[in-house]
Amino acid sequence: MYPVTLNVTGRRCLVVGGGWVALRKVEGLIAEGAQVTVVTPEAVGPLAILQKNQAITLEKRAYRPGEAAAFSLVFAATDDREVNRRVSEDAASAGVWVNVADDPALCTFHLPARVRRGSLQLSIASAGESPFVVRRLRAFLERRFGPEWTAWIEAAGRFRGAVRALGLPRDEMERRYDLFFDSTVDTRQIRARVPAAEELARWLSPDPEKPGTGRAENGKGSQVGVASPDGARGRAGLVSLVGGGPGDAGLLTLRGRQRLMSAGAVVYDRLAATALPCDLPANVGLHCVGKEAGHHPVPQEEINALLVRLAREGKRVVRLKGGDPYVFGRGGEEAEALAAAGVLFEVVPGVTSGIAVPAYAGVPPTHRQEAVQVTLLTAHESKKVEGPQVRWDLLAADPHATLVGYMGVTSLPHAVERLIAAGMNRLTPAAVVERGTTSAQRVIRSTLAELPAAVERASIEPPALFIIGTVVRHADTLDWFGKRPLSGERLVIASPGGDLGAELDMCGAEVVEVPLPVTPAARVVLGALPLTGCVLRSPEEADALDEERDGPGWDSSKVVAWCLRPAAAERARFLGWRNVVHLPDETPGAVIRAMVRG
């Protein structure tokens, strides 16, 4: 097979079939600007919506012999092989390229599996011979190529334009392209970062030098201030700095959701991904700016510049941050950058982790006559040798205070050492909570002195925070979150989840309710944390969610397909779902009892 990339903009394309497989073909064609005609006696609901919105031409009838010849590209995706064969023969005889779903012998071209990160596309194909390999390779690459590659390819495009404007000889242009690539891509870890402004300026200078620091391997770039505003106000939009809460999507505020649903672009951190509404319109631009422990692929200055660029395009922009924007979230810096650029902004406060996470771990931050003061601090302060901004001596001396430390994994031993050295009782109750308020929450409780070793034994990873104070001893009694029967389960269900979705949530499961077809925002949410199960109520839902199983968050060996009807179970097994459980009783109570039994 000879690999090509087709420009189908404005070309007439035919899709024969009206199921979920056909819908995926239609969506791909629409995204590339094709004029799509769908022929099918019956169509799934989203195809009818596309017709209503005049995105496609939908003709509810049987395929007519010979009509494939009138199109530039043809797809057959029915469940009738005879119809598919007829479409294939008609197209081939007219010299029209044709693809038949799941039938390589009838194809004159094959569609590769794709991994997309903005304009960057990775294609995997096997000439139709080994689709199982293609699927697994796609799943592998979906996990390895993080969302930061989208921002990276956009930065690469801007850099190319700046280099071409210099009018340099070809070898000098290539030299600068090498500097960009070699300094921003870690080929071993398959990671990328957006370069800082000072690096770009150096690479565009008459005598560029490869920087000795800022390489992708250490995950850091030179952090410089925001470039001075150019004074152009244009038709600037509004930037909303929205707190997404600590992880539980239900803790997103009403105003935060309202701003998200009316946005034209969303700039989000990894830790805020679970707060994205799954029903966010597909045309909303999603910009992941990374930020995880040890890897900040997009410098803060570039985040600030991105917010300004998007606003100056006249967009309503949401900057979605975990917790609260102004509590250890650098929201103040971003607001100052927007103010300096003359961009209108607002702040939508969120539920901060320092209050919510202890509550989900069974720890009340205050308790009458026991803890009358709460101190929120960043644990990184404990590492400072000179000039720490935290008075550890004062914190250690107050037995009626609760300390809550953000970013508290790597810094925990230093914080504990400073507190004990300042006189805090070594036996003070303490805890560390990983991924608080989510299905991945883990809680480690110990004494202050023993906590670092306990955390190391449990292999606790960021994001996590620590809680130190007598109130931690209440966790045995007040652990409401971890004692619910489905605690730790993260389940996908097609929207609307109805009574079943509500009951699963009440029993402690983290329910990800996704619209069909699955939106880009829903894919981000699905991949934010590991999934444990998928509720299938029909064969159509199995078809619609099948391709999503290649994405991050899905582990085929662990995710259970809970099928409420025999036809759904049969279809899931046909599609290769590994762990299929048919539930003969589909009432919410019976489903929950089956899940609890495992």
As to burial, measured by CB atoms within 10 angstroms (0-12 exposed, 13-18 middle, 19+ buried), residue 198 is middle
What DSSP letter does each residue of 54-97 carry, written as one string? TSSEEE-SPPPTTGGGGSSEEEE--S-HHHHHHHHHHHHHTT-E
> Could you count the other beta carbons within 10 Å of the beta carbon of residue 10?
9
Helix (H) or strand (E) holding 454: helix 451-457
Describe the strand order of the beta sheet including 560-563 as a list of residue ranges.
510-514, 490-494, 533-536, 560-563, 579-582
Instruction: Report the run of H or E that residue 468 belongs to, with start and end.
Output: strand 464-468
The residues annotated with a catalytic role in the active site are 269, 291
3-state secondary structure 368-389: CCCECEEEEEEHHHHHCCCCCC
Structure tokens at 476: 């045995």
DSSP H/E element including 300: helix 300-312
Measured distance CA(182)–CA(214) in Å, rounded: 11
Helix, strand, coil in percent for the chain, rounding step 5: 40, 20, 40
Long-range pairs of 495-502 with CB within 8 A, sequence gap ≥ 24: 495/278, 495/279, 499/588, 500/535, 500/586, 500/588, 500/591
d(CA 44, CA 542): 13
Give the integer Cα–Cα distance in Å for 150 and 193: 10
- The Cα–Cα gap between 225 and 296 comes to 16
User: Torsion angle, CA of 448/454/458/463, rounded to 10 degrees?
Assistant: 20
Name the residue with tokens 């899931």: 572
Using only the alpha carbons of the chain, give its radius of gyration. Answer: 27
DSSP string, 501-549: HHHHHHTT-EEEEE-SSPPHHHHHHHTTS---EEEE-SHHHHHHHHGGG
> Could you check whether the bond before residue 496 is cis, i.e. omega within 30 degrees of 0?
yes
Nearest partner of 322 among 237, 239, 256, judged by Cα = 256
CA dihedral 25, 30, 35, 37 (to 10 degrees): 40
Q: Please spell the DSSP secondary structure of 280-298, one letter per residue.
A: --TTSEEEE---BTTB--S
Nearest CA among 455, 233, 255 for reference residue 346: 255
Q: How far is CA 408 from the centre of its chain?
A: 23
